[in-house]
Each structure stands twice: as C-alpha cells, then as structure tokens.
Amino acid sequence: MVRVKDPKASLDFYCNVLGFKLLMYREFPQWEFNVYFVAPIADASTIPEDEDGRWAMCMNTPGCLELTWNYGSEKEDAKYVYNTGNGDSTGTSDGQKIKGGFGHIGITVPNVYRACERFKEMGCDFHKSPNGGGMKGLAFIKDPDGYLVEILPQGKMVPEAIDCMGVAAEGGEGYKDNSK
C-alpha cells in the first residue's frame, strides 16, 4: 500500500502516465480513508462490473497496487506529506533524513527510452534519466507524492546513445546511493 496526498493526481499519474487501470475503489468514511487498486492490465473491458468480481481481479492480477488516501491529507501545505523511505526528511519532527524500508516501485516497459520520452512530454519529474548515473538503460521518475518509480526494460538493458534529457550513455557520473 502506498499513501497518497491527492487521489485525483495519483490516479492521473498511475493510470494516464504509467498506463495502469483502476480496477476498483472502496470508501471507508467511518475510518476516514479510501483505497484505490490499480494494475497494469491491457484491456479495461475485462474489469468485472460487480464488486466481488473486481475484488477477485485485484487479488489475482500481478502488479496490482493499492493506493490509500487518508481524508484531509490533500489540505496539507507541503508538496509531499509522506516519507518515501529514501533518505528523506518528510514527516520527521527534527528535519533529519531517515532511511526507511521502502525504496521504490518498479515497472517494466517495452522500451525505457521511448517511455521516458513520453514521461518527459507529460511533465514527469525525473530522479534519474536512462543514461544518468552509472546504471544505463533504466530510469526513475517521481509520482505526485515523491515516491520513486523505477522504469525497467522488458528484457535486456540496452543503452541508447542519448536519452530524453540529452544525457550521453558514454561518460557522466557513476552510481550514487541516495538512500544515505
């Protein structure tokens, strides 16, 4: 489960940017939260109409992700309200960075470089472009809450000469562990 500040912004990112489909959502006003289940399915017409069928699909679809919105979080002034677990100081009382257990979500795409061109056109915030750092052929973008989403190839990692940010595959700085 990933906590989100603004469900509309998060659903837009996961569904329209990453191509996931909303399988189901449930509201729990008595506990002041809603849950949204999104998954990388090809055909939205396969989503069942009934709630039991939707729930079964969520529990049987590889890569299904639960997004949880706690009522009122959208009113927070800060851009980010949840700690991402990556050497981040969000939510700490003393402002010190903490290293949490969560690192990132990873998804696979047919072509990392084409996907990243699309993500750039859609205004995504890049943490690492495909040729940035020492590991070539993969990228990291941020979701609306600052969580990292790793973009990996379906198959071999094959670097291209120049990526969407104009970074060359040859040269550049090496791998940097940002969790410390």
Which one is catalytic: 150, 160, 170, 173? 150
Report how far residue 67's alpha carbon sits from residue 8's, in angstroms, rounded to the nearest whole number. Answer: 11
The angle formed by the CA atoms of residues 75, 81 and 83, to the nearest 5 degrees, is: 165
Look at residues 18, 14, 39 and name the one whose alpha carbon lies nearest to residue 115. Answer: 18
Look at residues 17, 12, 4, 15 and name the one whose alpha carbon lies nearest to residue 139. Answer: 17
Does the annotation count 150 as an active-site position?
yes
CA atoms within 13 A on the CB side of 50: 3
- The pair of structure tokens assigned to 65 is 């992700």
As annotated, the active-site residues are: 150
